[in-house]
Structures are given as C-alpha cells and as structure tokens.
C-alpha cells in the first residue's frame, strides 16, 4: 500500500520543554514517507465539566475531536505523575470520549513515555493502556518505549542525544504504521 497514514501525536504535557513532546518530535522526524504526523494541542482544553459540555463543547475540544476522528492512528506520549498518566492527558481523553460516536473506538494507537525516573513512565503507560481498553482503542503491544532518565537523553533545546532511544522511537513509529495497515485490512495481531 502506498496511501499516506495520518497519525495524531497527543502529548501528555503542557511544559514548553517537555521530554514527551520532544520524543514525539523525534517520532515525527523519523516517520517513513508514507506517514503524515500532526500534533494535538491540549493547552486550551478546560477541565472537564459536564455542565459546560451540555451548554457548548469548547472549541479546543471540538478541534481535538475532529483531529482524532480524522487520524488513522494515534501516538500518545505521557509523563508519569504520581504513578499515573498526567491529568492533562486524562482530562483531554475524558472530553473526547463523551462525543458520539465515540472517536477513540477502533483507533490503532501506540504509547511512549519519558520520565526523569529510572522506570521511564511504565506506570503511566499501564494506566493509559487500561483507559484505551475501555475506550476500545487497539493499542500496539510492542515495541515498548519508556525513556528513563530523560533529562540525560535530551539536551537543553529538546534534541535527543541518545542514539539508542532514537532507534527505539523509530521502531515504534514503523510498528504503529504496520499495525494500522493490518487493522485496516482486517487482520489481527
């Protein structure tokens, strides 16, 4: 197949110098030519409020919903806060999941995480995977990318300095493309 896959990157951090956003930029830069990568912006999404949703879904949420719907696949990158995914990411997922039809259902997805800890965000990935199961996303199981000691793998400008980490991210991007094409063709893992 030569058709271009549209992948939406969803960073779980609002921090300007986020290691997770930096990792997503590495993913974008290492993507094969048959993959178009776009970034979601979660910075304008308010805290989830059913009353606000009933009145009018905020424009930033509508934009994210449309990006999710238009994407062939999703690539999440989350920091680990208190043994879980970031509140920013969970909040965005909560908003999008309320739309009907539910935009995440059936979407191929992959996760990576970057953390200054020695575990690289493994617990955040576990919680995100559990949410994906409930939302009927088809999460890629392998390869797993957990960037431990992220502050030692990126420079002050957010450029990756660790070649091995770049190779793992590139493998994840290729695997997400392969997984997406398998699902589009009706194949199982």
Length of the chain: 189
Structure confidence at residue 1 (pLDDT) = 45
pLDDT in tens, 153-181: 999 999 999 999 999 999 999 999 999 99
124: its two tokens: 């955040």
The CATH number that applies at residue 70 is: 3.40.50.360
Asked, for residue 125, whether it belongs to a domain, the answer is: yes
* pTM for the whole structure: 0.94
Asked, for residue 180, whether it belongs to a domain, the answer is: yes
Helices (H), the chain: 19-30, 50-55, 59-70, 87-97, 122-134, 163-184
pLDDT in tens, 113-152: 998 888 778 999 999 999 999 999 999 999 999 999 999 9
Structure confidence at residue 118 (pLDDT) = 82
Asked, for residue 189, whether it belongs to a domain, the answer is: no
Instruction: Tell me the residue range of the domain where 133 lies.
Output: 5-184
pLDDT in tens, 56-111: 899 999 999 999 999 999 999 999 999 999 999 999 999 999 999 999 999 999 99
CB 86 within 8 A of CB 123: no
Angle formed at CA 114 by CA 108 and CA 120, multiple of 5 degrees: 100
Structure confidence at residue 117 (pLDDT) = 85
Structure confidence at residue 125 (pLDDT) = 93
pLDDT in tens, 23-38: 999 999 999 999 999 9
Domain count, the chain: 1
């Amino acid at each position: 197949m030569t058709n271009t896959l549209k992948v939406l990157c969803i960073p779980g951090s609002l921090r300007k110098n986020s290691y997770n956003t930096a990792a997503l930029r590495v993913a974008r830069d290492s993507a094969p030519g048959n993959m178009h990568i776009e970034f979601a912006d979660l910075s304008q999404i308010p805290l989830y409020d059913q009353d606000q949703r009933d009145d009018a879904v905020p424009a930033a949420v509508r934009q994210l919903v449309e990006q999710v719907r238009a994407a062939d696949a999703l690539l999440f990158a989350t920091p680990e806060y208190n043994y879980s995914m970031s509140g920013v990411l969970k909040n965005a997922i909560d908003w999008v999941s309320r739309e009907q039809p539910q935009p995440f259902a059936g979407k191929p997805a992959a996760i990576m995480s970057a953390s200054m800890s020695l575990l690289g965000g493994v617990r955040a990935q576990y919680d995100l995977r559990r949410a994906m199961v409930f939302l009927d996303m088809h999460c890629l199981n392998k390869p797993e990318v957990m960037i431990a000691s992220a502050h030692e793998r990126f420079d002050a400008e957010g450029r990756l300095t660790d070649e091995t980490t770049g190779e793992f991210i590139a493998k994840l991007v290729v695997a997400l493309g392969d997984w997406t094409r398998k699902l589009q063709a009706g194949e199982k893992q």
